[in-house]
Chains A and B, each alone.
Chain A
Amino acid sequence: MSWLETIRTGVNGVRSHRLRSFLTVLGILIGIAGVIIAVGLGEGASGQVTSEINALGSNVLTITPGSTTSTSGIRQALGSASTLTMSNVSALASPVDDPDIKAVAGITSSSEVLTAGSETATTTVQGTTPSWLTVRGRAVAEGRFLDNQDVKDHTAVAVLGETTASELFSREDPVGQTVDVNGVPLTVVGVLTSSGSSTSTSSTTDPDDTAIIPITTGAERIFGGTSRNSVSSIAVQARSSADLTGAYQEADHLLLQLHGITNAADADFTITSQASLIAANTSVDHTLTILLGGIAAISLIVGGIGVMNIMLVSVTERIREIGLRKALGATPRVIRRQFLVEASVLGLVGGLLGVLAGLLGVLWLPGLIGDPISSSPTAAVGALVIALAIGVLFGVYPASRAATLAPIDALRSE
């Protein structure tokens, strides 16, 4: 009996028990779809984080107040009362002390409500200096960016990110318009180009949902509260990626000195690089992917056991059919193949439908949960192969049971 005939017989076997086959297939389907979505979620999340971190600018170190490396417990929580000041910023910017540092920007930021006419938008308002543009690797699409005069004169001006600009001024040209922040009217002097990485819908992580104001204006008129000289973070750009380590050491050394700290372990600031951020996030996402993938894999195994269970029931239930087929001349090998093909068909159909469901989920879910999911052809093909393998693997035992049945026992059973 040819393979073609065997496959035809196997497919007929599956088709003649529609409901049961469908339920069996469902187990595989869910497992495969789960694997595809889990892998997609993991990859999507790490892709998003990486692009967000890259949007911070290239060769950038971020200095934040507080220490995470304390040996005596955390003395100061990250981002609490600032130990970083504008004078630290200017010291870091000195080319004599820090030859590897190209540009430095001190940043104070806060989430504020912006009002323009009847439109309002909640966004991250960042007080900074002109060097921010270079450090972050951004560009101005329209109008101009802050200049040193703005910082010096505490001018009431703002440069908007693309998302914020379109939220507040959907039709009009934003440049020259006025936005109110905490009752302070600011003139919009420019709009930034899109960072090209706003994959996310959440405002906290969208680099285009922001408003940039002079740091002095911010300290004096918008943010208030903390010391007017302090900054919430300092972004340091190295001259090149090769100078990143040098820049790190220079900044570390200088700040320790300025803060009068002799033991590096007592540092009241933390310097992070993009690479370390990416690494930390990647490892989190990796763990997440493994976790989700593991759960999906378990459900896939459960689906496989479902196939085996159904095939065993099928062998028992169709014992007369097996006996008859043997009486008519089916060899044990032919019977084994028939049941293996049936199990493989269940696995393959479940795999195909699972890939379909997984891809639909990849298309549809991001809109629902607000997180990107990438679709990976590798995962899809891999899932299909796994589904088929599960069908075959869990079909082997029931198939040999069927093959080794004695024809008389099979025929005799009522």
Chain B
Amino acid sequence: MTLTDPQGIPPVRDAVIELERVTKVYRTGTISVAALRGVSLSIDQGEYVAIIGPSGSGKSTLMHILGCLDVPSSGEYHLAGEDVSHMSETALAEVRNRRIGFVFQQFNLLPSMTAWQNVELPMVYAGVPRSARKERAMEALGRVGLSGRVNHRPGELSGGQQQRVAVARALVTEPDLILADEPTGNLDSKSAADVLRLMGELHDAGRTLVLITHDVEVAAAAGRVVGIRDGLLTDNDQRYLESVR
């Protein structure tokens, strides 16, 4: 399998995500808390992986590291072949912009902007020319079925529609990885099902998706489930699923 990188950077390996013995320790004064205690994980191009764990398991920390929002205390993280474990804040911002599309539980749309302007935002930071931005934003909104809502502001959209705008924003830059953090957490079951169906479609279209959740049913939508507990990945994904059932 080969990567088609829009930036023209040659593919190094097939794995989009490669974590090696990643730890994360938070220090507050004299107390240090190990949120991740040596996590190794490999996710291939085109995979749809759910990371599941209860609150306090370290899954948020893992999500932050996977999303390049934070760097590991030790260990290595390669994202699409690039070592991002020791990058500066500025370099990380650039990596997030180019390689990762985020979908958050809170949608995180800017209320003063219309749907298409929200979708356009990552391209603004990528330096895409204005005319191309609008075109691509419209296209992405079409893919999530919101062609008729492009000029609506978030306040004029339902929760499900807002989350679809957020999905459009995540995929508009053609990122290597779409990272969804509890994307259905704030939605009613019908909207949640819509969003999960949309994620399934993206997976079918060849996107690499990582979904972080505490909900077993949501995790079941993914092709592969990885459990996390007490800062460590559980050995057998299936056994974890059964244990929480």
| Chain A contacts to B: CB under 8 angstroms | 1-2, 5, 9, 12, 16, 320-321, 323-334, 406-408, 411
Binds A, one of B3-11, B75-83, B121-129, B206-214: B121-129
Q: What B residues does A333 contact at CB under 8 A?
A: 90
CB pair A329–B122 under 8 Å, yes or no, is: yes
Q: What B residues does A12 contact at CB under 8 A?
A: 112-113
Q: What A residues does B108 contact at CB under 8 A?
A: 320, 323-324, 327, 411
CB pair B94–A331 under 8 Å, yes or no, is: yes
CB pair B69–A407 under 8 Å, yes or no, is: yes
Tell whether A411 pairs with B112 under 8 Å between CB atoms, given A328-B121, A329-B93: no
B102-138 contacts to A (CB < 8 Å): 102, 104, 106, 108, 110, 112-113, 121-122, 124-127
Q: How far is the CB of B181 from chain A (nearest CB, A)?
A: 9
Tell whether A332 pairs with B90 under 8 Å between CB atoms, given A1-B124, A324-B110: yes
Q: Which of A5, A12, A411 has the most CB of B within 10 A?
A: A411
CB pair B104–A411 under 8 Å, yes or no, is: yes
Chain A CB within 8 A of B67 CB? yes
Q: List 25 A-B contacts (CB under 8 A).
A: A5-B124, A12-B113, A16-B112, A320-B106, A320-B108, A321-B110, A323-B108, A326-B69, A326-B93, A326-B96, A327-B69, A327-B96, A327-B102, A327-B108, A328-B96, A328-B97, A328-B102, A329-B94, A329-B122, A330-B93, A330-B125, A332-B89, A332-B90, A334-B125, A407-B69
Chain A CB within 8 A of B37 CB? no
Q: What B residues does A408 contact at CB under 8 A?
A: 64, 69-70
Chain A CB within 8 A of B98 CB? yes
Cα of A66 to Cα of B67 in the assembled complex, Å: 90
Q: Which of B94, B98, B104, B124 has the most CB of A within 10 A?
A: B124
Q: What A residues does B169 contact at CB under 8 A?
A: 328
Closest to A404 in B: B89
CB pair B94–A411 under 8 Å, yes or no, is: no
CB pair A411–B69 under 8 Å, yes or no, is: yes
Tell whether A1 pairs with B127 under 8 Å between CB atoms, given A321-B110, A329-B98: yes
Closest to A407 in B: B69
CB pair A1–B125 under 8 Å, yes or no, is: yes
Q: What A residues does B90 contact at CB under 8 A?
A: 331-333
CB pair B121–A327 under 8 Å, yes or no, is: no
Closest to B61 in A: A408
